[in-house]
Structure 1
């Protein structure tokens, strides 16, 4: 084509064309497909954020609401403001996830460690007072019998009663309130807006849940609740306890005993007896003191800590040495069938760790295990019931599970070594041992040291192996705490927390021990990385 001679305001064919004109303020480069993709993604993010805001508002969780609002505003500002560069847009999601899933978790765990949160102390004080009043209710003698209808709303049950000619409706979480639009036939309520009327078959099938259901008569817990025994008549129940907010005392009307609120979140009588329901309070460093001084935890804690350190160190050294030896052997070009051998060695790594641990648990069973019954001819060796044999078994199984990973990283490190360095060492007369000690070994260690530190941190908290193989057993006989010979600190924390039902829940103490684990791993990892930097400087 012939070029067009253009003036200063004319287009020259072949030159970069300016963006096509559009609506006022429109720029096709600025508002292209990428902009609309960003708009869609941010719309989804904001929709999720608004959902969280509404949920936090309904739950009256103001700190969640505030944090979510700050995150949304910050993300919208970063992604829609022209002042921020591309790197900021890439960094923003990572920062949000770091704050939510790392920093928040650490600080919240530290907060729980300073409280008495656990069984008997799950509620705040207002909820605890209401629970005590409701747990000690008795039917009011001579109280009126209210015509009652059992209502349903999804999986939830509720009551509707007739009182002074009005229909009152409520559930376990919603006090009785007047229901507009309810229909009544004689003394039976036939329809309530927003609820279904339970049939006799439904009442019979859920008899236990309905007879245990209590619907608060009002928002004042001291006014009692409505309960029923047959699903047709309701009676007023009131607590035998009365709460004096001014004196902060709870009085048992049947015995006259006065329970006074304490700083440990309980109502206690003068003789030392306490009501079973308490509330969460800050207790300072009591959980840390308990972990290190209480006979129930202090002795086992130190034993578990020593075993935890030994387990992590031996696991890293044994798996790394075995993986490194195998990598050196199979890195030699003179070995035939290297690909087949490498594939076979990776098989333990290909199976899920928890499944392998369960299989080994069966193989090592004292009475029915394959190792005792078939390989060893029917002997009864307590591989998982004797404390020392159980520890040895744990280390052996972890060696089986862990060496393929070390074999992989050692193989990669060996194959990435620069050939000129090795050739120079050979020219200088270095033999195989000298070559390994002065050149190959240090270079491999430099590249694998960070992974070894990460492996130490992983094995220090190797919950899956311990829980699936031994569940921390065999248990120590000198403590009532659910702690055993093969427990690591992380499985000890799990048992003490009571999540598995092995003990009463004690989230405060478990959180304190979690902080200890965090500090130990952080210190060891920090020292390890420091030594790695020194090694790099020497090399």
Structure 2
């Protein structure tokens, strides 16, 4: 039966005919076959996998009270399921994955970095005030002299160790995160706990395998940190340890009863005594613009910072200029049809660009080695030139290696731009009497800059943050002397961020984040100015 006959039957029965653009009706069973097609099943499985991972993330985030992450994951799962099971959201099916990754890896990272930049987050200040109080009391714990000992049983649940004791005839069990509390239905033989529901009782061999973790374990006696904790030295006998310091929650002070010293909280997230003694660890607090101003007001940081700042600009500008000039020169030369074997030469010139940059950097580091490098030993006959350890030679070496790595890219870009210039424009200039030099200066170069200016701006931004080359070739060295952070003469701002955050002994994430924000503002401002200049070139 045809679709026209079907429509006529419907009209004859008094029902309105179907619209002309309506899809043809399918036989019963066809819709089910299409609904469970291989594509639909694959989509169902993928979305189910995403839902499973999302639910796991929600549970994990809720366990540590990260409610912002919970809210985002719930929102993401709702959007994913709505988009991929709705027939009206076809464009969104392609946009949603990219938008979610953009939110997580770009916008959230930028927002969180901005937040950290205004805090003292780092070693010694990486948690909340309550955690800092608990840690300070734990670090100063001592066994109560003459205190009762308890026959102790080591237990485990889901990989978390805990202690179980019998106190006043009742079994008490706890872990590092959970204070001692009564355990219903637990069994004991005298003063020794034999079984605890939900926990595995460790035997001697299992205790011996985890001896260090067990001796370092402290189980709080109660929710009040001043009550101390239960600890053991042998895995079989437990003792109550209390801190030599006492925290007064009402006065918000930490007191040493033996000396009478009182420690009060400071604006920088530490308990400090009247004589300036600081208790560690501290806690994370907002410090305003202190991280930003320290680069200009702290003499120990300001000197290296300004030295690194000017070198970063010099490195980025000189890298772009040298690579562009060499690439343009080679592109002009090998764009001339009179050059024989142009394809072979072009292929050879692309070799540095074909190799991974990090491998080339490591190879050049070996070639430039002062003691056994190929350049000193073979090419220079055993010379002792400190290519990577002298401040100025190290900078020159970095520019040379970056030229080796970067000119093939500019060569490709300029070759493409030259070949896109209309031949009739150049021919018209020749007919008007313009020489080769005038054609290059007045026609070829302006048209070339219009095509390559955005790429030059992008190249500047890339070299401004060219962490890989600096880290692999010189490691930022040779180092400055007398600075609180481990930075060197060939460091650029981005490698300075890495050093402040990870390599200076004391990790200072707040200071590193502030420097990252400044890099973002500098690159953004220069890029904005560069693109405005590009528009003027287009008008010209």
Find the counterpart in structure 2 of residue 510 from structure 1: 512
1:20–1:28 Cα contact (<8 Å) kept = no
Query: By how many angstroms is 1:460 displaced?
Result: 0.3
Residues 223-234 of structure 1 aligned to structure 2 (within 5 Å): 223-234=227-238
Whole-angstrom distance in 2 between the partners of 1:434 and 1:68: 62
Q: Which has the higher mean CA deviation after the structures are superposed, 528-537 or 187-196? A: 187-196
Find the counterpart in structure 1 of residue 61 from structure 2: 56
SS at match of 1:226: strand
Relative distance call for 1:230 and 1:7 in structure 2 (3 A) is closer
Find the counterpart in structure 1 of residue 137 from structure 2: 133
Query: By how many angstroms is 1:533 displaced?
Result: 1.3
1:19–1:27 Cα contact (<8 Å) kept = no
Whole-angstrom distance in 1 between the partners of 2:198 and 2:422: 75
Q: Which has the higher mean CA deviation after the structures are superposed, 529-538 or 63-72? A: 63-72
Q: Which has the higher mean CA deviation after the structures are superposed, 106-115 or 181-190? A: 181-190
Find the counterpart in structure 2 of residue 493 from structure 1: 497
Whole-angstrom distance in 2 between the partners of 1:27 and 1:147: 67
Find the counterpart in structure 1 of residue 474 from structure 2: 470
RMSD: 2.9
- Find out whether 1:19 has 2:31 as its counterpart: no
SS at match of 1:9: helix
Find the counterpart in structure 1 of residue 272 from structure 2: 268
Q: Which has the higher mean CA deviation after the structures are superposed, 339-348 or 261-270? A: 339-348
Q: Which has the higher mean CA deviation after the structures are superposed, 170-179 or 56-65? A: 170-179
Relative distance call for 1:262 and 1:535 in structure 2 (3 A) is same
Whole-angstrom distance in 2 between the partners of 1:209 and 1:35: 50
Q: Which has the higher mean CA deviation after the structures are superposed, 453-462 or 205-214? A: 205-214
Query: By how many angstroms is 1:522 displaced?
Result: 0.2
1:21–1:27 Cα contact (<8 Å) kept = no
Whole-angstrom distance in 1 between the partners of 2:77 and 2:3: 52
Deviations 1:36-76 (A, max 9, x none): 65555444433333222222211111111122223333444
Deviations 1:1-37 (A, max 9, x none): xx999596169xxx9971315589x799899776665
Q: Normalising by structure 2, what TM-score?
A: 0.90
Q: Which has the higher mean CA deviation after the structures are superposed, 146-155 or 453-462? A: 146-155
Find the counterpart in structure 2 of residue 529 from structure 1: 531
Find the counterpart in structure 2 of residue 314 from structure 1: 318
2:301–2:484 Cα contact (<8 Å) kept = no
Find the counterpart in structure 1 of residue 451 from structure 2: 447
2:162–2:174 Cα contact (<8 Å) kept = yes
Query: By how many angstroms is 1:255 displaced?
Result: 1.5
- Find out whether 1:122 has 2:126 as its counterpart: yes
Residues 283-432 of structure 1 aligned to structure 2 (within 5 Å): 283-432=287-436
Deviations 1:400-458 (A, max 9, x none): 11122222222222333333333333343433222222222222222222111111111
How many residues are treated as equivalent by the alignment? Answer: 529
Find the counterpart in structure 1 of residue 17 from structure 2: none
Whole-angstrom distance in 2 between the partners of 1:201 and 1:27: 60
Whole-angstrom distance in 2 between the partners of 1:292 and 1:5: 83
Deviations 1:466-494 (A, max 9, x none): 11111111112353431211010011111
Q: Which has the higher mean CA deviation after the structures are superposed, 441-450 or 390-399? A: 441-450
**419, 424, 433: which one aligns with 2:437:** 433
Query: By how many angstroms is 1:320 displaced?
Result: 1.6
2:476–2:491 Cα contact (<8 Å) kept = yes
SS at match of 1:219: coil
**93, 105, 108: which one aligns with 1:104:** 108
Whole-angstrom distance in 2 between the partners of 1:453 and 1:142: 73
Whole-angstrom distance in 2 between the partners of 1:327 and 1:508: 46
Relative distance call for 1:242 and 1:478 in structure 2 (3 A) is closer
Q: Which has the higher mean CA deviation after the structures are superposed, 176-185 or 398-407? A: 176-185
SS at match of 2:264: strand
Query: By how many angstroms is 1:464 displaced?
Result: 0.9
2:270–2:282 Cα contact (<8 Å) kept = yes
Whole-angstrom distance in 2 between the partners of 1:503 and 1:23: 69
Find the counterpart in structure 1 of residue 155 from structure 2: 151
Whole-angstrom distance in 1 between the partners of 2:304 and 2:23: 77
Q: Which has the higher mean CA deviation after the structures are superposed, 432-441 or 523-532? A: 432-441
1:19–1:29 Cα contact (<8 Å) kept = no
Find the counterpart in structure 2 of residue 9 from structure 1: 8
Whole-angstrom distance in 2 between the partners of 1:199 and 1:206: 11
Unmatched tracts of structure 1, length 5 or more: none
Query: By how many angstroms is 1:96 displaced?
Result: 2.5
2:165–2:191 Cα contact (<8 Å) kept = no
**443, 456, 460: which one aligns with 2:460:** 456
1:260–1:267 Cα contact (<8 Å) kept = yes
Whole-angstrom distance in 1 between the partners of 2:87 and 2:23: 24
Query: By how many angstroms is 1:531 displaced?
Result: 0.8
Q: Which has the higher mean CA deviation after the structures are superposed, 368-377 or 87-96? A: 87-96
1:57–1:65 Cα contact (<8 Å) kept = yes
SS at match of 1:297: helix
Deviations 1:367-422 (A, max 9, x none): 22222122212221111111101110111111111122222222222333333333
Unmatched tracts of structure 2, length 5 or more: 11-20
Query: By how many angstroms is 1:162 displaced?
Result: 2.6
Deviations 1:168-219 (A, max 9, x none): 3333223233344545455544444444444434434443332222122223
Relative distance call for 1:411 and 1:253 in structure 2 (3 A) is same
Find the counterpart in structure 1 of residue 75 from structure 2: 70
